[in-house]
Amino acid sequence: MRANPTDIIRVILVLTLCGSLTACGAKKSQTPKDTTSPADTAPPIEVFIPDVSPPDVPPEPDIVEPPDVPEIVDPPDVPPEPDVPEPPDVPTDTADPNALPAPTSFDPAWPPYWNLSNAGDAHIAALAAEALEGLGFAKGSAEGPGPNDRLIVTRYLMAWIDQTGFVGKMNGLWRLNGANDDGLDFVIRDGDRPLNFLVVGEWGQGKFPAGYPGSEHTEFPSKTPEFDDSAACIDGDWCNQYAHDEAASITDPDIPWWSACNTGQKAWDVLHQPMEAALIQGGIRLKYEALLVKEADGDGTFDGDACHQNWLFPDGIRRAVYLQLGYEFFSDTTHLDRLVSIRNPAENPEFTGPMSVIGGFVLTQWPNPHPLKGLDAFFRPTIGGFMDPTHGIPLEAGTWNDHQFPAQGGDEVFGWINNPFSLSAFPLFAAGRSASLSHIGPSDNNDAGFCLCGVHGGLEMGGGLLHGGLSLPIDGGTESIEARRRLDLPGDPLLPKTLVYEAETDLQHATGKADDDGWSANTAEHTANHILYGPYATDWYGNQGTATFRMMVDNIDADDLEVVAINVHDATTQTNLAEMHITRKQFNAPYAYQDFTVNFDLQGKIGHTMELRAFWTDFSYVKVDKVTVALTP
């Protein structure tokens, strides 16, 4: 085939232009990136140059060149040749339908976002700013969300993927209501501040937890002793712990083996780009890879020797092994999937371990959880019950088991549950107040669990994945299966609830009589006792509550004696949650209804039998119209 002179001229121009530059393809300086993994290195730029065949090469068999076409010379006034379709064997630029488009930037100081919701960009930007500001980090700080991180927004979830200082870790997760357009909103707020479902910044103070590297921990124990380890460590759970090297320091004094590796850890500005970033059916997939290195020193002296160094194989040689972690988010579901796999490079011997990749999502502090995150209150196994090892009680499948116990010292560990399970602040699924966890990989899914971890200081949902003897060992040059941990935040939003109890019809009485629109007692006919009590309700769900008693007296001047005492009573524990003693002169006018309100706390009391009580003292006529209970989620 004869070369088109136009193509030849183009090639000459490209080579001439390239030679005029200092270095063809030179890049601008970028934020420092982790160089520990091949996946973190951008691939070389591929330049496609059309094939130019020399004159003596015969034409390809499937292209017939017209015999009467002379050699073309392009004078200035010759019109361009008509478009000729390229032969099928010539490569063309075709857009990858699974390629993830660039995220949308809305503020140069905040992470850009991918929007999978039904809301417009302006509304998403406003919600994102609220969520990020609510964490409490100084805008532009190295530790907080920044422009090299990413946000993913679906109909039900907003997630902050922290790529600076962390290997693509989800340090923020907010539950949304699933509404369209400008109706999309957060379901849980601490005051006006959207509440992160995870532990980072949950109090709005811009802080990381003391006992965890962010909102999730993922580690792999090793039973290969180092030169200064006790040989007895091989008979225990582990000699040292390996994980990703990340920026957040461990400062909890209860775990000095972890804080021993704070020295020399990765800086906050180290950027980790995903090894995979793609559109999937109905969502987005991100996956990251970094070296599995020593991050906890178990030698007993906690001197931090060999921290951040490669995996130590049984032959005493350290070699590179890669821990791959990622996420899949879906536009129209309340769940996300955590992805876990291990890559063992070709030159390595087989890789195995005594236990598994241990870890999980850290939802809140423990034993002092955020008041809107009391997920330890109710446990629900799905298909198989198990024992509560701390309290010695069975937790039955398919029902909400009351676990409103005071926190114990140390750890309460629930492992190898072997079925999906849920935690909730209430005996129901409530958006932003409940969470379900399951392992749904191709195999090795039984080690799901949770921990009320007093030692590390967090409420965790997770377990073990990629166990030795099940998913491991793997040979050099191979990867493990991709394990999958699913976190679901199910349920409908729990809205504020108002309950009205009419005194004459909805409540019980130990004294007094029906009196038009209420219930009254007078000194001539009745003796001191409860003018009302009840309703013994068990469905008061919420965090806080108020009870407003609407009452009147006949005289406000005779004296200032106590005429009635009101209270909210927990009949399950036989304790008063709130009370008020009311005198005659606290009423503003005779024979005029007036409201008296008490506030009460429902934490640790969900599902208890609740009672409203008014005790009449027999010093004045008193009439009660109703009691209104307002519950705040």
Using one digit for the tens of pLDDT, what is the confidence trace for 594-615? Answer: 999 999 999 888 889 999 999 9
Position 25 pLDDT exceeds 60: no
* Residue 167 pLDDT level (bands cut at 50, 70, 90): very high
**How far is residue 345 from each of residues 218, 323, 401, 470, measured CA to CA in Å?**
21, 11, 46, 20
Residue ending a domain, among 172, 194, 216, is: 194
Phi, psi of 73 (to 5 degrees): -115, 135
- Residue listed under structure tokens 């906890």: 296
Q: Is residue 516 part of a domain?
A: yes
* Residue 3 pLDDT level (bands cut at 50, 70, 90): very low
Cα–Cα distance, 519 to 527 (Å, whole number): 14
Position 15 pLDDT exceeds 50: no
Beta-sheet strand order (sheet of 357-365) = 293-296, 240-243, 216-222, 357-365, 458-465, 448-453, 411-414
Tally the C-alpha atoms within 13 A of residue 204's C-alpha that lie toward its C-beta: 11
Residue ending a domain, among 194, 223, 258, is: 194
Q: Is residue 328 part of a domain?
A: no
Cα–Cα distance, 338 to 333 (Å, whole number): 15
Q: Is residue 469 part of a domain?
A: no
The pLDDT, as a whole number, for residue 608 is 92
Q: Is residue 423 part of a domain?
A: no
Cα–Cα distance, 621 to 584 (Å, whole number): 10
Q: Is residue 70 part of a domain?
A: no
Q: Is 552 helix (H, G, I), strand (E, B) or coil?
A: strand
Total structural domains within the chain: 2
Q: Which amino acid makes up residue 569?
A: H
Q: Is 500 helix (H, G, I), strand (E, B) or coil?
A: strand
**Mean pLDDT within 303-310:** 96
Q: Is residue 595 part of a domain?
A: yes
- The per-residue pLDDT for range 174-226, each reduced to its tens digit, is 999 999 999 999 999 998 999 999 999 999 999 999 999 999 999 999 999 99
Phi, psi of 230 (to 5 degrees): -70, 135
24 CB contacts (<8 Å, ≥6 apart)?
18
Cα–Cα distance, 233 to 331 (Å, whole number): 46
- The per-residue pLDDT for range 522-581, each reduced to its tens digit, is 999 999 999 999 999 998 988 899 999 999 999 999 999 999 999 999 999 999 999 999
Q: Is residue 385 part of a domain?
A: no
- For the chain, percent of residues with pLDDT exceeding 90: 79
Separation of CA 145 from chain center: 15
Residue ending a domain, among 142, 160, 194, is: 194
**Mean pLDDT within 467-487:** 98
- Residue listed under structure tokens 């209804």: 593
Give the residue, 28 or 259, on which the prediction is more confident.
259
Give the residue, 237 or 575, on which the prediction is more confident.
575
Buried b (16+ CB within 10 A) or exposed e, 122-137: ebbbebbebbbbbbbb
The pLDDT, as a whole number, for residue 542 is 85
**CATH code of the domain containing 600:** 2.60.120.260
Contacts of the segment 234-241: beta carbons below 8 A, 24+ positions apart: 237/354, 237/355, 238/298, 238/354, 238/355, 239/298, 240/294, 240/296, 240/297, 240/298, 240/299, 240/312, 241/294, 241/295, 241/296, 241/298
Please, which residues bridge with residue 459 across strands? Answer: 364, 452
Q: Is residue 82 part of a domain?
A: no
Tokens of 20: 């005029």
Cα–Cα distance, 479 to 40 (Å, whole number): 18
Q: Which amino acid makes up residue 427?
A: P
Cβ pair 175, 149 in contact under 8 A = no
**Range of the structural domain that residue 139 is part of:** 113-194
* Residue 347 pLDDT level (bands cut at 50, 70, 90): very high
The pLDDT, as a whole number, for residue 24 is 36
